[in-house]
Amino acid sequence: MIAAAIVGYVLWRRRRARLGAWRAQLATSADDARTTRDLLATSSAPGAIDDARLQAMRHETDTVGAVLANLAATAPDDASRTRTKAVEDALRSYMLAIESEQMLHLQAATEDALADANVARRARATDLDVALSALQELMPPAEH
């Protein structure tokens, strides 16, 4: 009986340590996702974006997206997995909307097409904000 209690305690401590490590990675990744969101927002003002800047935006989005995908795959529960995956998807969708809008700029699209692309880009930005807010609920409040 005592041996079972000791084994149970050790397993509980390991699970708790893994959860703490996952949440620490999540906090860092959520900060990275917010920073990437800000980069995308400031870099995607109306008008064409130069190729080097667009490539840097893609790289940052892919890097943060890959980390979020890994966190989602190792999430401790369904809610954590769903919310982490939602941020990854929203971040990638935002970047895709920016790229789509850029393609229209390069093709000298109509004003209506550009306006529609702008609305789509802003909607994806809002989706990312909503997903980040939901993800924030998974993290313990910051200690002061």
**Can you give the CATH number for the domain in which 46 is found?**
1.20.1440
**3-state SS of the chain?**
CHHHHHHHHHHHHHHHHHHHHHHHHHHHHHHHHHHHHHHHHHHCCCCCCCHHHHHHHHHHHHHHHHHHHHHHHCCCCHHHHHHHHHHHHHHHHHHHHHHHHHHHHHCCCCHHHHHHHHHHHHHHHHHHHHHHHHHHCCCCCCCC
Residue 4 lies in a domain: no
List, for the chain, all residue ranges whose pLDDT scores fall below the cut of 70. 3-17, 19, 44-46, 140-144
Number of domains the chain is built from: 1
**pLDDT at residue 65, as a whole number:** 96
Residue 10 lies in a domain: no
Instruction: Tell me the pTM.
Output: 0.82
**pLDDT at residue 9, as a whole number:** 56
Residue 104 belongs to what domain range? 24-136
